[in-house]
């Protein structure tokens, strides 16, 4: 009987290393899949960074080419032409602000003549749309300078 028991025990334990190898292999494969997923995520982030760097380089090159083009266009021109070319954007901005202040002044006058108080004037003049326009103008003129610094 002891011989029979030892034979079964010996036969049964001969499968233990195979079973342990199976579970170890399963864990190894799961680990490899996890590592590959992390590598893919890293590669995606790296590709995004490279694309952003390429876009920034292209923008920088475009800006420098625009400056060179602007300089080339001004060569040989009279000084007053150069001054006129450089004043177009500021003059348009001044005109729009003058129109803005005129319209806001008329609106304030109308609210005051109809018996409105300071709160009514503030609500009428500094609406959400006005704040959006004002923020867009300030961001256009001063935002790019702060970002580039």
Spans of all domains in the chain: 1-75, 79-149
**Helices 79-113, 16-74: inter-axial angle, 10-degree rounding:** 110
Average pLDDT over residues 24-46: 89
Average pLDDT over residues 93-112: 87
Q: Are 111 and 121 in contact (CB under 8 A)?
A: yes
Cα dist. 149→24, 47, 142, 143, 145 in Å? 55, 26, 11, 10, 6
Q: Are 140 and 148 in contact (CB under 8 A)?
A: no
pLDDT of the residue at 41: 94
Cα dist. 145→6, 72, 88, 93, 131 in Å? 86, 24, 19, 17, 21
Q: Which of 3-7, 27-31, 75-79: highest mean pLDDT?
A: 27-31
Digit-coded pLDDT (tens) for 67-102:
888 778 778 778 888 888 878 888 888 898 899 889
For residue 118, give both structure tokens. Answer: 């300071």
Q: Is the pLDDT of residue 5 over 70?
A: no
For residue 121, give both structure tokens. Answer: 């004037």
pLDDT of the residue at 138: 80
pLDDT of the residue at 75: 81
């Amino acid at each position: 009987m002891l011989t029979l028991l030892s034979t079964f025990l010996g036969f049964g334990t001969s499968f233990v290393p195979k079973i342990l190898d199976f579970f170890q292999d399963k864990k190894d494969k799961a680990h490899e899949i996890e590592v590959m997923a992390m590598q893919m995520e890293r590669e995606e982030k790296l590709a995004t960074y490279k694309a952003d760097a390429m876009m920034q380089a292209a923008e920088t090159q475009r800006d420098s080419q625009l400056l060179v083009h602007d300089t080339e266009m001004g060569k040989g021109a009279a000084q007053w032409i150069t001054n006129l070319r450089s004043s177009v954007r500021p003059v348009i901005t001044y005109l729009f602000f003058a129109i803005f202040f005129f319209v806001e002044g008329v609106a304030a006058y109308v609210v005051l003549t109809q018996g409105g108080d300071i709160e009514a004037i503030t609500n009428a003049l500094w609406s959400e749309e006005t704040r959006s326009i004002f923020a867009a103008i300030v961001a256009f003129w001063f935002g790019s300078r702060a970002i580039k610094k």
